[in-house]
Amino acid sequence: MKLYKLANNVIGQANAYDGLGRSYMQLNDLNKAKASFQKALELNELANNTLGQGNNYNGLGIIYLKCNELDKAEATFQKALELFKLSNDIPGQGNALQGLGLVQMMRSQLQNAKILFENALAMHKQAQYAKEQKDDQYYLDKVLYKMSQL
């Protein structure tokens, strides 16, 4: 981080904070993760880095989801999706759609969740992201199972 600051590399600093946020998320330290993603977002906004902003919003969306703050999670994933579309980032769009699908699943809006997971799966297939495809399929199967129980 210090080298990025010395070099006035704002995007490098933002990427370091984003990575830090993801590390804190893995450690389940959601407050530090949130602070790191917010700092990364500030720096990416300063640098006008829409792709970086999309990644930061997606990370924040995951945190809000884990904290069961569904309205904030939905708005944050929606913002990430818009930024990923502006950046033409297909895998990012898939990630944001998956997050939106999880929000809908948690709200028991199963038809909406199904559509979102199907769209996420299509994006991840297009990007050839195998792990994300498996996750999308898992969530889609879970939704279909719940729908069959109604």
105 touches 64 (CB < 8 A): no
pTM for this entry: 0.92
Helix or strand (DSSP H, E) at 112: helix 110-127
- Write down the pLDDT at residue 8: 64
On the question of pLDDT at 7 being above 50, the answer is no
pLDDT level of residue 10 (50, 70, 90 thresholds): confident
What is the reported pLDDT for 150?
77
Q: What residue type is assigned to position 116 of the chain? A: L
Cβ pair 105, 120 in contact under 8 A: no
- Looking at the structure of the chain, the number of domains it has is 1
pLDDT in tens, 92-118: 999 999 999 999 999 999 999 999 999
Expressed as residue numbers, the domain containing 86 is 2-148
Cβ contacts of 56 within 8 Å, gap of 6 or more: 14, 18, 21, 37, 38, 40, 41, 44
What CATH number should be reported for the domain holding residue 54?
Answer: 1.25.40.10
